[in-house]
């Protein structure tokens, strides 16, 4: 009997790279837990550059397809302005990223629950459920202390989330390796 999946498909997507990615996420998580303030500012820096690059790409698109429509320039301008605001006001940026992080963790929890349900009752569904519960608890704990504890909680929670995501992938990867 195939213990990986009823029809063999859901867990085929988890290949040999699962162990490597799980290891990298686990190491990143440990770094974040060890240096939470550094991880908080690193997370804010990363998000700010994503916004700036996204805004620049959107501006290029607007320039190519509708350069004379003023309203089409609003979105790229807001993306770029928001990105630079996070860069120039890093503490306020950490607080804003903290609120976004709480929302992300809630979405991550629901995503983990959906994945766990889709692969239930095969190998790894329990780990994915555990990952969802962990993300849900982190989101709720963060929202209770926000914004006063954002400076270190953002980094700590990003580290914890990465650690649990990494451990989850390692557990699934090892279980798949044993069952093949």
Cα atoms in the 13 Å half-sphere on the side-chain side of 87: 12
- Report yes or no on whether pTM surpasses 0.75: no
The residue among 21, 54, 56, 57 whose CA lies nearest residue 173 is: 21
Looking at residue 10, its pLDDT comes to 58
Q: In whole angstroms, what is the distance from residue 2 CA to residue 53 CA?
A: 46
The residue among 27, 156, 59 whose CA lies nearest residue 101 is: 156
Determine contact, residues 23/165, Cβ cutoff 8 Å: no
Looking at residue 2, its pLDDT comes to 46
Q: Tens-digit pLDDT profile for the chain (180 aa)?
A: 444 443 555 566 666 788 899 999 999 999 999 999 999 999 899 999 999 999 999 999 999 998 999 999 999 999 999 999 999 999 999 998 888 888 988 999 999 999 999 988 888 889 999 999 998 998 888 888 888 888 888 899 889 889 999 999 898 888 877 776
Q: Three-state SS for 123? A: coil
Looking at residue 167, its pLDDT comes to 94
Length of the chain, please? 180
Alpha helices in the chain (DSSP H): 17-34, 36-65, 74-88, 90-119, 125-145, 150-179
């Amino acid at each position: 009997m195939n213990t990986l999946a009823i029809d063999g498909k859901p867990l085929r997507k988890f290949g040999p790279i699962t162990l490597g990615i799980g290891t990298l996420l686990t190491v990143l998580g440990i770094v974040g837990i060890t240096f939470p303030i550094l991880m908080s500012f690193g997370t804010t820096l990363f998000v700010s550059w994503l916004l700036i690059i996204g805004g620049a790409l959107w501006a290029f698109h607007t320039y190519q397809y509708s350069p004379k429509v003023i309203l089409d320039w609003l979105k790229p301008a807001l993306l770029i302005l928001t990105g630079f605001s996070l860069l120039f006001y890093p503490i306020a940026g950490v607080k804003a990223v903290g609120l976004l992080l709480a929302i992300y963790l809630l979405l991550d929890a629901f995503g983990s629950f959906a994945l766990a349900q889709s692969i239930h009752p095969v190998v790894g569904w329990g780990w994915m459920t555990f990952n969802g519960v962990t993300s849900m608890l982190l989101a709720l704990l963060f929202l209770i202390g926000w914004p006063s504890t954002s400076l270190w909680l953002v980094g700590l929670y990003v580290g914890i989330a990465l650690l649990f995501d990494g451990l989850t992938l390692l557990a699934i990867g090892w279980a798949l390796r044993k069952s093949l």
